[in-house]
Amino acid sequence: MFLKSTILILKQQNNFHQKLIRTITTTIKIPERRQDFAKLTKDDIFIFQNLLGENNVKTNEIDDFNFDFMHWYKGNSSCVLLPENTQQISSILSHCYQKKLALVPQSGNTGLVGGSIPMHDEIILSMKKFTKNFELDSTSGILECDSGFVLEEVDNRIAKKGYMVPVDLGAKGSCLIGGVVATNAGGIRLIRYGSMHANVTGLEVALPNEQGQILRLGSPLRKDNADLHLHKLFIGSEGQLGVITKVFMQVVPRPLSVHSALIGVNSFEKCQQILKIGKQMLNEIISSFEFIDGESMKMVKENAGLDCPLSILSNFFLLIETSGSNEEHDSSKMDKFLTKILESGLAEDGVLAKNASEADQLWKIRESCPLAIRKDGYVFKHDFSLPLKYFYELPEAVRKQLNGKAKRIISFGHIGDGNVHINVSIPEYDQKIYDL
């Protein structure tokens, strides 16, 4: 996977990262450790070992858990717990509550802002071994699985029965399904299938209280008005309310016909017009509508060696995907759409992938954007959801504010749902740039 190979490259750049970590530690204000939290003792570790087994209590060689995968943030945890069932999690939370031990739930640890990394010496509760239960109702399309399964593994398993996970992320080869729910991840197909709120029908969660209480919220039913839908509170809660142990979600039929096209556009106003036309002409088969600005395209060529397949380097690019069940019908719709926007002058150039391999190359450009920029040095990463008319005004405002002080400012994201990623790169961390 691209993500895994990037992790290896980043780990090799050890000297740079050690310097960077020291810089961040001295410049970013971290809240002081709460004095009411206790320190982990040997007795606590002994209790955890009896509960989980010695192999599932790690106190050595735990850097992979203390660092985020970009190696920007470093925690100081001395203990990682790897539970395998719900009762173990319940007992861990109960013990930590009674002993006043701070704990951080950690899923696949693929986030870009250090959210699953301890700020101090908190115990890390890793969900990577929480993979016992997995069941798909192939009639209703409802999946029930433990929260520790890797998203790509979930997708591969249900593919055998003609289904796919409605959420697709660049980190799918490493992120866990529980973390996807806990962060309410959207991904590239939100325009078609919605976020996790639209797809999760229920959750099993463990609460951080004296009993380590286990709650089953929601149900495997797509429509269930028998309760208050409290599981919705845990979607996007990022571990603040408890630990997600099991997920009930609807999965969708795997498409039989998929088409991907990349088009170049010279103004953001025209990007908006193309989106409107795309929704009208592609309607029920549109599954992705991604945005890449010209600076992003230049960056992936310089940093990742990926060439733009179009003859013109436009100011903006749109990567569009359709998915359906009828090849002839879907192909005809895509052809008519591309013909309209090209002949009308809305698009400067375009290419339609002829096969899966060509489509993968187009998507590799988009998926490389958040990681390839790392080669520039330090990157300030921002993720905003905005009304469409402001979608590109914000990147332009950032560019004006920095006034040439950054090495590079790129923007990419999901124009179909108004989610823009703004990345600002500089050679090394600079507090003056941060303050701007």
Cβ atoms within 10 Å of 227's Cβ, excluding its own = 11
Q: How confident is the model at residue 73 (pLDDT cuts 50, 70, 90)?
A: confident
> Do 134 and 248 form a contact (C-beta atoms < 8 A)?
no
Question: Could you give the dihedral angle defined by the CA atoms of residues 345, 347, 352 and 356, in that order, rounded to the nearest 10 degrees?
Answer: -170
pLDDT band at 29 (very low <50, low <70, confident <90, very high): low
Distance of CA 362 to the CA centre of its chain: 19
pLDDT of residue 431: 84
DSSP assignments along 197-234, one per residue: HHHEEEEEEE-SSTT--EEEEE-S-SS--SS--THHHH
Closest among 420, 412, 304, 415 to 366, alpha carbons compared? 412
Between CA 185 and CA 192 the distance in angstroms is 14
Who contacts 257 (Cβ-Cβ below 8 Å, separation ≥6)?
322, 323, 324, 325, 326, 327, 329, 330, 331
Q: Report pLDDT for 16.
A: 40
pLDDT of residue 253: 97
Whether 13 has a pLDDT exceeding 50, the answer reads no
More confident residue, 13 or 85: 85
What's the pLDDT tens digit per position in 408-418?
999 999 999 99
Q: Which band of pLDDT confidence, cut at 50, 70 and 90, is reported for residue 307?
A: very high
Query: Mean pLDDT over all residues of the chain?
Result: 91
Closest CA to 288 of 275, 273, 300: 275
Tokens encoding 434: 């941060």
Task: Give the Cα separation of 170 and 342 in Å (integer).
Answer: 29
Top CATH class of 257-435 equals: alpha beta
Task: Compute how many other C-beta atoms are within 10 angstroms of the C-beta atom of residue 234.
Answer: 24
Pick the range with the lowest mean pLDDT from 24-33, 193-202, 273-282, 366-375: 24-33
In the chain, where the domains are located: 2-126, 134-253, 257-435
The stretch 290-312 carries a mean pLDDT of 97
User: What's the token pair of residue 194?
Assistant: 């919605």
127/32: higher pLDDT = 127
Q: Are 88 and 40 in contact (CB under 8 A)?
A: no
Q: What is the CATH code of the structural domain delimited by 134-253?
A: 3.30.465.10
The CATH number of the structural domain formed by 2-126 is 3.30.43.10
Please determine, for residue 324, whether its predicted confidence score (pLDDT) is greater than 80.
Answer: yes
Which 3-state string (H, E, C) describes 42-99? HHHHHHHHHHHCHHHEECCCCHHHHECCCCCCECCCCCEECCCCHHHHHHHHHHHHHH
* pLDDT at residue 18 in the model: 45
Predicted TM-score (pTM) of the model is: 0.88
- Residue 28 has a pLDDT of 54
Mean pLDDT along residues 167-176? 92
Indicate whether 436 pLDDT > 80. Answer: no
Q: Helix, strand, coil: what percent of the chain each, to 5?
A: 40, 25, 40
Half-sphere exposure of 82 (CA within 13 A, CB side): 14
Q: Is 135 helix (H, G, I), strand (E, B) or coil?
A: strand
Domains 2-126 and 257-435 share a fold: no
Confidence of residue 6 (pLDDT cuts 50, 70, 90): very low
What CA–CA distance (Å, rounded) separates 162 from 46? 46
Note the pLDDT of residue 19. 43
In 3D space, the residue among 125, 102, 127, 104 whose CA is nearest the CA of residue 116 turns out to be 104
Model confidence pLDDT, tens digit, residues 210-246? 999 999 999 999 888 888 899 999 999 999 999 999 9
Report whether pLDDT(10) > 60: no
